[in-house]
Amino acid sequence: MSALFQPLTLRGVTIPNRVWMAPMCQYSAEPEGPGTGTPNDWHFTHLAARAAGGTGLILTEATAVSPEGRISPYDLGIWNDAQVEAFRRITRFLASQGTVPGIQLAHAGRKASTDRTWAGGGPLGPDARGWQPLAPSALAFDERHVRPTELTHDQIEEIVGQFADAARRALAAGFEVAEIHGAHGYLINEFLSPHSNHRTDVYGGSYENRTRFARDVVDAVRAVWPQDKPLFFRISATDWLEEDGWTAEDTVRFAADLQTHGVDLLDVSTGGNASGVRIPAGPGYQVPFAARVKAGTSLPVAAVGLITETEQAEKILANGDADAVLLGRELLRNPSWARHAARELGADVHVPHQYHRSV
């Protein structure tokens, strides 16, 4: 029996298979006006196609908890009720296809206020719909990015509250899984790593202090997220730095901490917090980091990173390296990857009646 197409139950939610869609920014929301940050026809079509293709869990792109928490002016957000109503259309359709709808809650920190990737992804100033980024320390990500404003204690508490408010809205919008984005050099990751966090107060310095903001966010979200619904946390398991960075050992330690705070699965990625580093990218290159967490804790994990082939994905799960796989670019290329993989493995997966001729 295929490991890839076994259901997985976390708390009160059963995900029908282990083929999941990773969050991928589409940079397609309206940048200003009443539709700012609101999902539109593009987002519906993009997510609905992968649900019709048999994907077990779909996580939205990084969805900002505040306007200044967006990576770009074109990102999705969930800071107002109009956004909630637009998301309901998406979650209803995903659920109708047997797919579990999930949302990734995010704040971009010092990597905020940038252009769309196909326009170069450079920083945007106020004259180009940009804004002043916020961060744990006033350290720019690289030479292109602006120097962010260091957060005050009051601002930190406000952002923690914004994550909780976003989780409440996500529940109202029909999401069954919430994921906190603590990876890729965005705000929570910036607090975790000594590379980007040079604070000398209770939010900086020691491991305990640098992880405080992340724990505060998790606690605030878990307090409003129903006990029968799972909470995920996405982490960059390493900064890929030889020194003065977040490490794989830190990740294993933190995974155990997160579990005690009510996190149900760790979504294990890497990198994004330090510019100019060399990352040995290749098929499944991040899977060993997920495997380390799984071996060192009892927290379920999902693996991501150049997972493209059916046999590759099946082997990751069969070997016990992860509990699920998250596909990104491969699902952009092939929205029905799950259906094709099920056929190869002799497994069952949801097929819409309208597509019965494809079986």
**CA–CA separation, 113 and 292 (whole Å):** 34
Tell me if 185 sits within 8 A of 272, measured CB to CB: yes
38-46 LR contacts (CB < 8 Å, sep 24+) = 38/76, 38/77, 38/82, 38/83, 38/86, 39/76, 39/83, 39/86, 39/87, 39/89, 39/90, 40/86, 43/76, 43/90, 44/89, 44/90, 44/93
Q: Name the DSSP class of 36.
A: B
Map 46-65 to HEC letters: HHHHHHHCCCCEEEEEEEEC
| Placement of tokens 């998301």 in the chain | 87
303 phi, psi to nearest 5 deg = -105, 150
**What is the sign of the dihedral through the CA atoms of 180, 291, 58 and 269?**
positive
Q: Scanning the structure block, which residue is given the tokens 């999941």?
A: 20
Q: Single out the catalytic residue among 27, 74, 186, 203.
A: 186
Tokens for 21? 């869609």
Distance CA(309)–CA(19), nearest Å, equals 12
Q: Are 313 and 19 in contact (CB under 8 A)?
A: yes
DSSP string, 114-134: B--GGGT--B--GGGT----E
Note if 186 is an active site residue: yes
Q: Which residues are catalytic?
A: 186
